[in-house]
Amino acid sequence: MLYVLDTSAILAHYRQEAGWEPVQRLFDDTESDLLAASITLTELGRRLIELGACEQETAQAIESYEQLLSEVTAVDARIAKAAFTIGCRTPHRLPLADALIAATAQVREGCLVHRDQHMRDIPHNFLQQLDLELPRQ
């Protein structure tokens, strides 16, 4: 199965916060393909700096996750257009980065892995989601 990791999922894993264990299981599962949108790397770096990491530590973290992922997907015109549609159809404000990440999951027909309220607001008929803050059935 294909999973698209949102920045919130990677941060949970990196910091071993709530929800990190399911992300680790995905990394350990040889049947899973994990990818991230290219913008996720930028968002991850900015967030780690905000949390007090130095630039070198942040660069190393980004490099480590880039190596763990099956792919880092570039934002192309198809993803950009899908992000626009998702943003228009989401009832609350959806930040651009989140719209692009969600659109990556939709276009690639993957499951979006996150723990982000903005993503929860996306209508569920747009894409499959694994919300790390919701109890698993």
Supply 13's token pair: 């894993």
Q: How many domains does the chain have?
A: 1
Q: Determine, yes or no, domain membership for 136.
A: no
Q: Determine, yes or no, domain membership for 137.
A: no
Taking only the tens place, the pLDDT of each residue in 74-94 is 999 999 999 999 999 999 999
How far, in Å, CA of 44 to CA of 36, rounded?
Answer: 11
How many CB atoms are closer than 10 A to CB 137?
Answer: 3
Q: CA 129, 53, 51, 7: dihedral to nearest 10 degrees?
A: -10
Given a cut of 50, is residue 5 above it in pLDDT? yes
- Look up the pTM and report it: 0.95
How far, in Å, CA of 2 to CA of 34, rounded?
Answer: 6
Q: Determine, yes or no, domain membership for 80.
A: yes
**pLDDT average, residue stretch 47-61:** 97
Q: Determine, yes or no, domain membership for 14.
A: yes
Closest listed residue to residue 8, CA positions, set 134, 127, 114: 114
